[in-house]
Structure 1
Amino acid sequence: MSTSSSPVKIAILGCGTVGTQVVRVLTEQQTDLSARVGADVEIAGVYVRDTSVTRDPVVPTDVLTSDVDALIERADVVVELMGGLEPARTMILQALNAGKGVVTANKALLATHGAELYEAADASGADLYFEAAVAGAIPLVRPVRESLAGDTVTRILGIVNGTTNYVLDEMTTKGLDYGEVVAEAQRLGYAEADPTADVGGHDAAAKAAILASLAFHQRVSLDDVYCEGITEITAADIEAAAETGHVIKLLAIAEQTSEGVSARVYPALVPNAHPLASVRGAFNAVFIEAEAAGELMFYGQGAGGAPTASAVMGDIVSVARHAAGGGHGPRESNYAKHPLLPIGGAQTRYAIRMSVHDKPGVLARVADAFARNGVGIGSVLQVPDAELASLIISTHRASEASLSATVAEVREMDSVGEVLSVLRIEGE
């Protein structure tokens, strides 16, 4: 039952797949949502650039408007679902500066201009919620920002892009090449016509910046995240991973060590026994390590209209409650000043696959190069061939700088035919 006489008015900016689903839920579940909020919930309007475009019938034509200024002025809660940096940034700042609570799913905007948005929210006392910006329907932002606020998070490993996980999973289970899997992903709608943001790792990098900022209580922007995509992963890399008991996953990694904070995205070898190794298809999963809580796993749908709308609606209910009954959500926590480590300062394990001449003493010379650069060898797998043998060398933990120097030296050896691939090992 409603406890407030004044309705909470929701403005929606953008009416794409997610925006349409949000309108559907607000319309079809209005009675339940009003009861949860403690006040009637109404759609103040839906901003679109062109009101004449034919849309899903679930969106009433009388709520469509191209006058964003008037819409924001009459709203209590502004929900930004347009994506992109502009005009989303300008519109969100307009809403926050007017004291309106904001819900957004815009990961790129938060990773690039988060500091400006947080400051505007703090200055006006407005809410800024963004659960849907990372991992779709998976409740992740709230647990990291609130549930673990009294703990110390040390590491986050995340499969946070469904397109790349689908591509790598198809390559692993069906033995297909990268190009044909991407084409199939586009046909099925898992990948965009231009898949660069996904396969290049940029989408995951934005999410890594957000997670690192929340987990380590300091501002980490997109520019602070090292990023590699999956475009260079081959069927041979997939086969070699299987030989050593691993699968390849594109991981978003946020880590705090005694040296500082590292945020990075790259394809990595994950042991078959690790929970992330079993994440199939377009699903997302995030593995968190914290001092008191230990290991936590979050798993579910990472994209799509309905799953993303679920996360958006959770934020809408929270912000609408504050609009109806007072109070506000958590403010930005950015008191920490840990150094932000470049990729050269990050440490992990590595697997280096190379072809070498099958002659006595070759392995010893390669091992000497590793030792000279301070990179310890954990194991060596040799696959004999007629003239060249394939070596897969797994290392102990080492810095990216040391590993790069080692690989550069090995490439110059006459006894080495080619360094075929270098992949990090995570989750061990």
Structure 2
Amino acid sequence: MTDQRPLRLAIVGLGTVGGGVIRLLETNSALIARRAGRPIEVVAISARDRSKDRGVDLSSYEWVDDMTTLAAREDIDVVIELIGGSDGPALTLARQCLAAGKPFVTANKAMIAHHGLSLATIAEKAGVALKYEAAVAGGIPVIKGLREGAAANEISRVYGILNGTCNYILTTMEKDGRGFDEVLKEAQDLGYAEADPSFDIDGVDAAHKLSILASLAFGTELDFAGVNITGIRHVIAADIAEAAALGFRIRLVGMAENGPAGLFQRVHPMLVPMDHPLAHVDGSLNAVVADGNFVGRLFFQGRGAGDGPTASAVVADLIDVARDEYGDPFAMPVASLLAQHKADAGKRTGRAYLRFEVQDRPGVLAEIAAATRDAGVSIESMIQRGANRKDGVLMAIVTHEGQEYRIADTLARLAGSDSLLDAPMVMHILD
């Protein structure tokens, strides 16, 4: 029978999500207590700036300046970490709490991606919960879905749109026909993008999430270092227009597959067919697709960030802790996770879109055609548009299906050519 005493918690980090957790616990307190089987109460809070106005009344909670004392306090049953960062104070706090036998709930995808296995090992030894539903795709219950709902299935592939900032930028460029830099500035003004957006637009945030999903889906060890990452920084409006003309939309897709060839993990802008569900995931929404051998295709979609969705995931974890319903952090003991080797992406087969910005002069088309021919790339279509920049034109190629190493060979043959005004852009096509 579930313990009837209140679950007493401390919240470390009182930014957007921390405030959202407090508001959710206060607004839905009676419903949460019924679902948890006992009340959930905030006892203590901690953040860097005590004087900051966070839009929520904090006067009834004890303020703790030294968060490292929370692990040893007997009047706190669980600690929620919302400060972020893969290392530093967040990691220290996680280790202290778990080693002390205190359940730990976090929304910190970077920490889980880099240190999840070591933290899970500590949690296993102490027999306590390490929960991180909010670390991937905000309010979408994809962690629970993979760890519990699809637990009986062999998952062959998991992929999706894992970063709302990138999706907002790409879909706004698509809708308005505007350039990347202009839309990024708008996203920053609206609060969708950070002042330094590098983690988002360069694909690192999505890669953190993908590595976590891959471990859960396949039962393999976390391997963030094995993710091939390309962001959206170099996608231009012309790419989006060409994709639309070909029947595609561009999305930043994180994809992981596991099989005899090894573990493949990639975050990359891709051309998504119009009839695929991911093509219709707009704005700051996230979506995850998992292919199971018995359940078939699972599709999760929802808001991937923000105070409400992320707080919802955090409190869902708290309810599990209150019920004493939690298992191994990665769906099985750490010792059971497979140390899978990295797959050779060059041997993957598929179609691709290649965009070149080239000199507007005779012979350039022949030069590119010769490079693709010599690399063994079969061209499905080739389009040349008018001037995209001074003295240049845009050339777009869609390939027939072939091994990816041939694309890399093509680019190597063109490296250093004075016909190219900028580095080529390669986007694979989602099959």
TM-score > 0.5, shorter chain as reference: yes
Give the Cα–Cα distance (whole angstroms) in 2 for the partners of residues 202 and 268 of structure 1: 16
Listed one character per residue, the Cα deviations across residues 40-94 of structure 1 (whole Å, up to 9, x for unaligned) are 3221211223434444333235422123244332321211111112201110111
CA contact (8 A) 2:105 2:131 kept: yes
Cα distance, 1:3–1:361 mapped onto 2, change above 3 Å: closer
Gaps of at least 5 residues in structure 1 are none
1:124 alignment counterpart: 126
Give the Cα–Cα distance (whole angstroms) in 2 for the partners of residues 96 and 347 of structure 1: 44
Instruction: State how 1:173-322 maps to structure 2 within 5 Å.
Output: 173-322=175-324
Gaps of at least 5 residues in structure 2 are none
CA contact (8 A) 1:319 1:329 kept: no
Deviates more, 1:64-73 or 1:367-376: 367-376
Q: Find 1:393's aligned residue among 380, 397, 400.
A: 397
- Percent of pairs with identical residues: 38
Give the Cα–Cα distance (whole angstroms) in 2 for the partners of residues 54 and 424 of structure 1: 44
**Alignment-mate amino acid for residue 329 of structure 1:** G
Listed one character per residue, the Cα deviations across residues 87-141 of structure 1 (whole Å, up to 9, x for unaligned) are 0111011111111111110000001111111111111111111111111111111
Deviates more, 1:71-80 or 1:167-176: 71-80
Give the Cα–Cα distance (whole angstroms) in 2 for the partners of residues 425 and 117 of structure 1: 35
Deviates more, 1:416-425 or 1:185-194: 416-425
TM-score by length of 2: 0.89
Deviates more, 1:67-76 or 1:387-396: 387-396
**Alignment-mate amino acid for residue 76 of structure 1:** D
Deviates more, 1:21-30 or 1:109-118: 21-30
Give the Cα–Cα distance (whole angstroms) in 1 for the partners of residues 7 and 420 of structure 2: 68
**Alignment-mate amino acid for residue 425 of structure 1:** H
Instruction: State how 1:2-401 maps to structure 2 within 5 Å.
Output: 4-72=3-71, 73-74=73-74, 75-84=76-85, 85-322=87-324, 328-332=326-330, 333=332, 334-341=336-343, 343-344=345-346, 346-354=348-356, 369-377=371-379, 379-383=380-384, 391-401=395-405
1:296 aligns to what SS in structure 2? strand
Shift of 1:289: 2.0
Matched, 1:423 2:426: yes
Deviates more, 1:306-315 or 1:35-44: 35-44
Shift of 1:390: 5.7
Tell me how many residue pairs correspond in the alignment.
420
Shift of 1:178: 0.8
Give the Cα–Cα distance (whole angstroms) in 2 for the partners of residues 307 and 5 of structure 1: 27
Shift of 1:162: 0.8
Deviates more, 1:182-191 or 1:147-156: 147-156
**Alignment-mate amino acid for residue 67 of structure 1:** D
Give the Cα–Cα distance (whole angstroms) in 2 for the partners of residues 270 and 10 of structure 1: 43
Cα distance, 1:166–1:388 mapped onto 2, change above 3 Å: closer
Cα distance, 1:26–1:228 mapped onto 2, change above 3 Å: same
Coordinate RMSD, CA, aligned: 2.7
Shift of 1:250: 0.9
1:329 aligns to what SS in structure 2? coil
2:5 aligns to what SS in structure 1? strand
Cα distance, 1:142–1:388 mapped onto 2, change above 3 Å: same
Give the Cα–Cα distance (whole angstroms) in 2 for the partners of residues 69 and 388 of structure 1: 59
Give the Cα–Cα distance (whole angstroms) in 1 for the partners of residues 363 and 5 of structure 2: 84
Cα distance, 1:271–1:6 mapped onto 2, change above 3 Å: same
